């Protein structure tokens, strides 16, 4: 089982898309672990923690 202590938002260059899969042309290395679900929640959490936004007070 893979345990990841953190995730790092990384810009990627997308390629072909068939509606279910998206080819990534650049920005990842072989073996990189990526988030494919709950991505919006991760982004909102990042905003809250880095910019102080949201209702976390």
pLDDT digits (tens, 9 = 90+) for 6-37: 778 888 999 999 999 999 999 999 989 887 77
Q: Which domain holds residue 54?
A: 1-57
- Which of 3-7, 39-43, 51-55 reaches the highest mean pLDDT? 39-43
pLDDT, position 54 = 56
pLDDT at 55 over 70: no
Collapsing DSSP to helix, strand or coil, 24 comes out as: strand
User: Longest Cα pair distance anywhere in the chain, in angstroms?
Assistant: 42
Count: domains in the chain: 1
User: In angstroms, rounded to a whole number, what is the distance separating the alpha carbons of residues 40 and 57?
Assistant: 20
- What is the reported pTM? 0.56
């Amino acid at each position: 089982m893979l345990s990841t202590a953190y995730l790092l938002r990384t810009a990627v260059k997308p390629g072909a898309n068939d509606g279910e899969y998206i080819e990534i042309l650049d920005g990842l290395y072989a073996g990189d672990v990526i988030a494919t679900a709950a991505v919006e929640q991760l982004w909102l959490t990042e905003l809250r923690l880095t910019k102080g936004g949201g209702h976390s007070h």
